[in-house]
Amino acid sequence: MIDLTHITKTYTSGADAYAALKDVSFSIDEGAFVAIMGPSGSGKSTLMHILGCLDTPTTGTYRLDGKDVSAMNDDELAGIRKNKIGFVFQAFNLLPRTTVLRNVVLPLVYANVPRNERAERAKKALIAAGLTEEHFGHLSNQISGGQIQRVAIARALVNDPALILADEPTGNLDSRTSLVVLGTLQALNREHGRTIVLITHETDIAEHANRIIRLKDGAVVADEQNVQPRDAAKEAALYV
């Protein structure tokens, strides 16, 4: 599904150039659950933005479902983001002055989902992400950091995208809620065949994926299968 060959990303500001990604190549199959690990500043978010068609690589090719993304125009890219990809960002995830429910409804609005289906689907996604009805009407500045992250996950799920890109989705969550979120992602992966790319710097979290790619200073330093991924649902059950 995802095919990266010799991807580099160089940020230039004036005379200075900074290589955030240096010759990154790998493929991700449809239905995979991949964790991307690496220390802070190693280029994980940069990579995710490229995977999500939000940013373009400086050199190299990125093929998504066999199609060269760099050859696509603005509208085609927007179409991919709308129909194929669900994002959870590391920071600034929700629209300000907007209710939790409206935040999750919005991708459906842009995807032209009929009005009467929207609220239903948004509520299902919110409940799947572990939120309760009482928060649906809250504004984005009236909920906790962990809740914001979960609303972002609900929003990424709501349109049933084939690919979910999550940048530190459990960064602000306690371990029990982290497991709920991971469980949701694992279920989506196993039961619905969704491809998931999870960015984290915690080994505990990464071990829930089937494959772990390690980045360091903008380059891939390890890429291994995780034969026995941890099962978030079972772990969560122990918390009772």
Partner 1 sequence: MTTRDLIEETQVALAANKVRSGLTMLGIIIGIASVIALTAVGQGAQNSISNSINSLGSNLLEVLPGAARTIGFGASSGRGTAQSLTPGDEAAIASVPNVAAVSGEYSGRYQVTVAGANTNTTVDGVDAAYAAIRNINMAQGSFIADSQSLSLSKVAVIGSTVASDLFGVNATSTNLIGQNVRINNMQFTIIGLMATKGGSGFGNQDNEVFIPLKTALQYFAGNGNQFLSTIDIQATSQASMTQVQNDVTTLLLQRHNISDSTKADFSILNQQDLVSTASSVTGTFTTLLAAVAGISLIVGGIGIMNMMLTTVTERMREIGLRKAIGATSKDVHTQFLAEATALTFIGGVIGVVLGWGASYLVSLSGLVAAQVTTSSVLLAFGVSAAIGIIFGWYPARRAAYLNPIDALRYE
Q: Bridge-partner residues for 123, per DSSP?
A: none
Per-residue mark of binding to ligand ATP, 186-225 (x: CB under 6 A): ---------------x------------------------
Q: Which stretch binds Mg ion (CB under 5 A): 37-45, 51-59, 173-181, 210-218?
A: 37-45
CB atoms near residue 54 (< 10 Å): 14
192 burial (CB, 10 Å; 0-12 / 13-18 / 19+) is: exposed
Give helix then strand counts, H and E, for the chain: 8, 10
Q: Which stretch binds partner 1 (CB under 8 A): 20-28, 70-78, 191-199, 229-237?
A: 70-78
Smallest distance from partner 1 to CB 130, Å? 20
Coil, strand or helix at 136 = coil
Give the strand order in the sheet containing 2-13: 16-28, 2-13, 59-64, 67-68
Contact 128, 184 (CB under 8 A): yes
Q: Which of 44, 150, 155, 208 binds ligand ATP (CB under 6 A)?
A: 44
Q: Which of residues 76-115 bind partner 1 (CB under 8 A)?
A: 78-79, 81-83, 87, 89, 92-98, 102, 106-107, 109-112, 115
- Pick from partner 1, Mg ion, ligand ATP, none: which does 11 bind, CB < 5 to 8 A by kind? ligand ATP
- Our CB check for partner 1 shows the closer of 36 and 212 to be 36
In whole angstroms, give the CA distance from residue 197 to residue 96. Answer: 26
- Our CB check for partner 1 shows the closer of 29 and 65 to be 65
In whole angstroms, give the CA distance from residue 25 to residue 2. Answer: 10
- Sites of contact with partner 1 (CB under 8 A): 49, 52, 54-55, 74-75, 78-79, 81-83, 87, 89, 92-98, 102, 106-107, 109-112, 115, 155, 159
